[in-house]
């Protein structure tokens, strides 16, 4: 068996050196190489963006114009990665009539999905809402997305299960954006009417990158 001397282990040198089999040395070298490769990789998940304000990050009130709630850059994307956008806030309709609203998600110049709610009844109490949008980078020129947004119902009792209304629930979208350059992931919102008592407040969001 071919042997080699001590290779960095804390064994005696000189006449008392311990000979190490070549196969074992190769195994150690391979492990060092693999560990270096693993350490060079990004840790999953990576927090890209975080924004939170207990009052509001963005408020949409007394306007029917489309308003950008979130716009975050997607850069350095690689095939197989997933970007997860989670957001939450409050909605109030005390405008005197049932109202609808529309959410739209887009990537770059491409609309991933858009959805208009059913009419929300009048209430003096704000509803809470949560949402999640997941963008899968199939390739750097092909992307898939799914979005789920839920609002609490009217008259929710404390400590009781939420009655929720799904919007854009399990809806899929796709895009063919060239992600070799930075593109923005955008979420917009629009009321169906302008009223001072018709209001949506985005309270916070996070965007994380799940590394392939």
What does the pLDDT look like over 30-89, one tens digit per residue?
556 655 554 555 556 899 999 999 999 999 999 999 999 999 999 999 999 999 999 999
The pLDDT assigned to 30 comes to 59
Class of domain 46-210: mainly beta
The pLDDT assigned to 179 comes to 96
169 pLDDT band, cuts 50/70/90, is confident
CA-CA distances (angstroms) from residue 33 to 40, 51, 152?
11, 39, 52
In the predicted structure, residue 178 carries a pLDDT above the cut 80: yes
- What residues contact 157, with CB distance under 8 A and at least 6 apart? none
How much is the mean pLDDT over the chain? 84
User: Which tens digit of pLDDT belongs to each residue from 1-11?
Assistant: 455 554 555 55
Task: Kindly list the domain boundaries of the chain, sorted by start residue.
Answer: 3-40, 46-210
**Buried-exposed string 32-51: b where 16+ CB fall within 10 A, e elsewhere:** eeeeeeeeeeeeeeeebeee
Structure token pair of residue 63: 């306007």
Ramachandran area for residue 14 (φ above 0: left; ψ -120 to 50: alpha; else beta): left
Pairwise pLDDT comparison (84 vs 120), residue with the higher score: 84
Over range 145-158, report the average pLDDT: 77
197 pLDDT band, cuts 50/70/90, is very high
**pTM (predicted TM-score):** 0.77
CA-CA distances (angstroms) from residue 19 to 1, 2, 11?
11, 9, 10
User: In the chain, where do the E strands start and end?
Assistant: 3-4, 20-21, 46-52, 58-61, 67-74, 82-93, 101-107, 110-116, 127-139, 142-152, 164-175, 183-191, 198-210
170 pLDDT band, cuts 50/70/90, is confident
Structure token pair of residue 27: 């195994």
Over range 132-142, report the average pLDDT: 96
């Amino acid at each position: 068996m071919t042997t080699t001397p001590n290779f960095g282990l804390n064994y005696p040198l000189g006449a008392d050196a311990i000979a190490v089999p070549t196969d074992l040395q190769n195994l150690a070298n391979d492990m060092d190489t693999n560990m270096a490769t693993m350490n060079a990789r990004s840790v999953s998940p990576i927090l890209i963006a975080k924004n939170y304000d207990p009052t509001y990050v963005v408020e949409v009130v007394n306007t029917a114009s489309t308003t950008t709630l979130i716009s975050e850059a997607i850069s350095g994307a690689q095939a197989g990665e997933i970007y997860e956008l989670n957001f939450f806030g409050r909605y109030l309709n005390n405008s005197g009539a049932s109202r609808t609203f529309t959410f739209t998600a887009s990537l770059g110049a491409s609309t991933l999905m858009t959805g208009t709610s059913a009419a929300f009844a009048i209430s003096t109490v704000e509803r809470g809402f949560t949402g999640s949008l997941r963008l899968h980078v199939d390739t750097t020129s092909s992307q898939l997305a799914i979005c789920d947004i839920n609002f609490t119902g009217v008259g929710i009792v404390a400590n009781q299960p939420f009655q929720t209304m799904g919007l854009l629930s399990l809806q899929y979208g796709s895009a063919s954006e060239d992600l070799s350059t930075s593109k923005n992931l955008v979420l917009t919102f629009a009321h169906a009417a302008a009223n001072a008592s018709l209001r949506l407040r985005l309270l916070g969001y996070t965007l994380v990158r799940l590394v392939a």
